[in-house]
């Protein structure tokens, strides 16, 4: 599978490229008052308001830094009814794609209930890289809030 590699703090992660709509530079976000700390805000992507999740803040105590390689990765995000939405993922050092074999990913053997989005791991060079399970990124209540249908 083709994967986009990124860094969150000192750790490396991968996103399955089949889930990616587009990778865009950092954009100005409209904050969402009273949202969870890892909800970075909203931006207009070709006429569609897209919520953006700060992956650094989701996985740790700090927000993603504004580096030359910081990007917003737009992914195809399914809701509970199978409908598709665009979700933005803010990440650092989004610099390369690599072709990895599905069979080489290994289960870490540890399940973290608070982080169901942490998928299997693979060794790339001298580092372990963990696959992010896009469909498990958001808890159900937040998914419903961010993708509420307008009447």
Residue 141 CB contacts under 8 Å (≥ 6 apart), including other chains: none
* DSSP three-state, residue 135: helix
Q: How far apart are CA 38 and CA 23, in angstroms?
A: 19
Instruction: Return all residues near 135 (Cβ < 8 A) that are at least 6 apart.
Output: 77, 78
Q: What is the dihedral of CA 122, 51, 8, 124, to 10 degrees?
A: 20
CA angle 22, 28, 29 (to 5 degrees): 85
pLDDT attached to residue 151: 39
Domain ranges of the chain: 2-146
Helix (H) or strand (E) holding 128: strand 127-132
DSSP state of 56: H
One digit per residue, pLDDT tens: the chain, 151 residues?
A: 999 999 988 899 999 999 999 999 988 999 999 999 999 999 999 999 999 999 999 998 999 999 999 999 999 998 777 789 999 999 999 989 999 999 999 998 888 888 999 999 999 989 999 999 999 999 988 988 888 764 3
Contact 24, 74 (CB under 8 A): yes
Q: Are strands 84-99 and 48-54 parallel, antiparallel or unpaired?
A: parallel
Residue range 2-146 forms a domain whose CATH class is mainly beta
**If 0-12 CB within 10 Å is exposed, 13-18 middle and 19+ buried, where does residue 73 land?**
buried
């Amino acid at each position: 599978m083709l994967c986009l590699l990124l860094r969150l703090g000192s750790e490396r992660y991968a996103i399955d490229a089949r889930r990616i709509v587009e990778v865009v530079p950092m954009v100005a976000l409209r904050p969402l008052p009273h949202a969870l700390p890892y909800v970075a805000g909203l931006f207009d992507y070709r006429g569609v308001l897209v919520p953006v999740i700060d992956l650094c803040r989701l996985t740790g105590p700090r927000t993603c830094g504004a580096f030359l390689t910081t990007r917003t990765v737009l992914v195809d995000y399914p809701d509970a009814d199978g409908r598709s939405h665009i979700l933005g993922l803010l990440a650092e050092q989004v610099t390369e794609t690599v072709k990895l074999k599905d069979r080489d990913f290994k289960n870490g053997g540890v399940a973290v209930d608070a982080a169901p989005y942490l998928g299997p791991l693979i060794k790339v060079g001298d580092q372990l890289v963990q696959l992010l399970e896009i469909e498990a990124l958001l808890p159900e209540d937040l998914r419903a809030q961010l993708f509420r249908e307008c009447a």
